[in-house]
Amino acid sequence: MQGEHHCPLPNLQPSGIKNDMKPAQTITLRIVNTLGLHARSAAQLAKVAGRAKGGVWIQKNGDRADATSLLDILTLACPQGTEITVSIDDEADLETLERMAELIRSGFGE
């Protein structure tokens, strides 16, 4: 038909691909600082996670957040005493996992 344009659909990938991936490494930790996982502490985690080559995730009670996103981390609402699991998708990011664990264990220097 004249004047009709066909636009190909973008090459969409199914969502949730990363959710189906088995993490390369995980560690379960408890939030020890008095104020819990607030903006400053979440920003420290996001900064460290941002250096990773693969995905870095924080999980609490089945809710999972992208550890490179300050806002994602804050949506988990983790007060003192909360148990979280930090995971990496790529073994090459083991140092990132260790640095995040060290931050959490130290109470973010607070």
Candidates 108, 70, 104, 110; CA nearest to 86 is 104
Give the residues across from 23 on adjacent strands: none
- Whether 6 is catalytic: no
Number of CB atoms found within 10 A of residue 7's CB: 5
Task: Identify the active-site residue in 38, 54, 98, 101.
Answer: 38
Number of CB atoms found within 10 A of residue 5's CB: 4
Catalytic site residues?
38
